[in-house]
């Protein structure tokens, strides 16, 4: 699997095809998948920076370990939370802005203390070490969907 930095480079290239759509693959266009994924990266890393480490509670989740270890998110099984669902009509300028922020956040991720975490709606508390893997898997999932839309 590609690093998050390489995945962001790929997303930047795919931005040129942001209006492409294939309803047999997804109800959303390429722009939606790009913006959603960037919103996830940015919100997760922002949350990592601000959560109180004393509140961390390790949680066991079969779903979390499946995604982390196998590296696959089953398509169509989970609806994106509203906080990371792009508003209707994703525009290129918004995606470019989120992409620039994502590049900064991915760089910041390298220096966030390992005992920080974010709270995932299904996986519970996820620490920094697992967050990097989760973001790479999540991004890979949406890049696969985008490539299916384009093929």
Indicate the domain borders of the chain: 4-15+24-150
Q: What digits encode the pLDDT tens for the residues 47-101?
A: 998 876 667 777 778 888 888 888 888 887 777 878 888 887 678 899 999 999 9
The rounded distance, in Å, linking the Cα atoms of 150 and 83 is 26
Q: 98, 42 in Cβ contact below 8 A? A: yes
Q: How much is the pTM?
A: 0.89
């Amino acid at each position: 699997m590609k690093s998050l930095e390489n995945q962001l480079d790929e997303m930047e290239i795919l931005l040129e095809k942001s209006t492409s759509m294939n309803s047999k693959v997804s109800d959303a266009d390429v722009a939606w998948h790009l913006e959603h994924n960037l919103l996830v990266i940015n919100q997760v890393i922002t949350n990592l920076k601000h959560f109180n480490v004393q509140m961390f509670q390790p949680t066991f989740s079969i779903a979390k370990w499946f995604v982390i270890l196998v590296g696959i998110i089953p398509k169509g099984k989970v609806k994106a939370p509203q906080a990371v669902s792009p508003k209707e009509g994703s525009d290129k300028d918004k995606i470019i802005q989120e992409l620039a922020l994502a590049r900064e956040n991915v760089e910041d991720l390298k220096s966030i203390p390992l005992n920080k975490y974010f709270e995932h709606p299904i996986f519970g508390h996820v620490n920094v070490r697992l967050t990097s893997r989760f973001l790479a898997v999540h991004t890979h999932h949406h890049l696969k969907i985008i490539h299916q839309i384009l093929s």
